[in-house]
Amino acid sequence: MNWTAVASIYRFEMARFFRTITQSFVSPVLSTSLYFVVFGTAIGSRIEQVEGISYGAFIVPGLIMLSVMTQATSNASFGIYFPKFIGTIYELLSAPINFLEIVIGYVGAAATKALFIGVIILVTAFFFVDLTIAHPIAMLAFLVLTCVSFALLGFIIGIWAGNFEQLQLIPLLVITPLVFLGGSFYSITMLPPIWQTITLFNPVVYLISGFRWSFFGASDVPVGLSLLAIAGFTLACMAFIWWIFKTGWRIRQ
């Protein structure tokens, strides 16, 4: 393993993040504050508790997941697409490094950025609601796994995308709706039975449910299923990336 190459890619991507550090941190804080004002105050005044949890606290895991998934996907997709766009991807491919080192560098940086954002949102939440974390280690594990898995997805999107518009297509039209419909701001038990069944086909439900369990010890689906879902999703993304580099799909075209 060429750790020097991995570190070089990682540092380069992180440097781009820290060049816009104010925007990177201020934006999620403002967005989270607006969500708490709209959902926590306006809607929370009508819905006092969900499953014995104050509504303001209940939406915190969903807010974190919403930002982490979109940020990890966007950062990873842009990180690998930009070298394709300017042509430096060929220099990277001709360097004495293998695909795994390339993936670790780009995905690791994107996951780290998303993790920073998740932590910032979590800290911001403490200023609005009384929040306790029942299983802090499990919470951190779910957060890191989500960052990594969606950074892998973003890497695939960056390879697939043919222009800058396509980079935003999947996050805006697929990931964000799935998060909103995956129980971010409500419990799926509040839905009619038929919609509960339909919602269970949304993979994001399992991620949000497991993450919420780490906060409150309550979940809409078994925690084991949540872990299985995120592990399966991560392995599927890794397998697809291996196939991309094996065949050269969208890289050498």
Please tell me the distance from the alpha carbon of residue 82 to that of residue 74, in angstroms, as a whole number: 12
- 19 Cβ neighbours under 8 A, 6+ residues apart: none
Q: Would you say 56 and 129 are in contact if contact means Cβ atoms under 8 Å apart? A: yes
pLDDT tens, 119-153? 988 988 888 888 889 999 999 999 999 999 999 99
Q: Would you say 17 and 109 are in contact if contact means Cβ atoms under 8 Å apart? A: yes
Taking alpha carbons only, the member of 37, 42, 49, 33 closest to residue 125 is 33
Query: Count of residues for the chain?
Result: 253
Average pLDDT, stretch 196-200? 90
Please tell me the distance from the alpha carbon of residue 113 to that of residue 106, in angstroms, as a whole number: 11
Please tell me the distance from the alpha carbon of residue 103 to that of residue 6, in angstroms, as a whole number: 9
Give the start-to-end residue ranges of the domains of the chain: 3-247
Average pLDDT, the chain: 88
What's the pLDDT at 44?
63
Which helix H or strand E contains 53, and what residues bound it? Answer: strand 53-54
Average pLDDT, stretch 142-167? 93
pLDDT at 170 over 70: yes
Percent of the chain with pLDDT over 90: 47
Tokens of 66: 């919403």
Q: What is the secondary structure of 120-132 as a DSSP string?
A: HHHHHHTTTS---
What's the pLDDT at 41?
67
Q: Band the pLDDT of 253: cuts 50, 70, 90.
A: low
Q: Would you say 144 and 214 are in contact if contact means Cβ atoms under 8 Å apart? A: no
What's the pLDDT at 118?
92
Taking alpha carbons only, the member of 75, 64, 99 closest to residue 13 is 75
Residue 44, SS3 per DSSP: coil
Classify residue 52 as left (phi > 0), alpha (psi -120 to 50) or beta.
left
pLDDT tens, 80-102? 999 988 888 888 888 888 989 99
Q: Would you say 184 and 32 are in contact if contact means Cβ atoms under 8 Å apart? A: no
Out of 27-31, 91-95, 105-109, 211-215, pick the least confident: 27-31
Please tell me the distance from the alpha carbon of residue 205 to that of residue 221, in angstroms, as a whole number: 8
Query: To 5 degrees, how large is the angle CA 246–CA 248–CA 253?
Result: 175
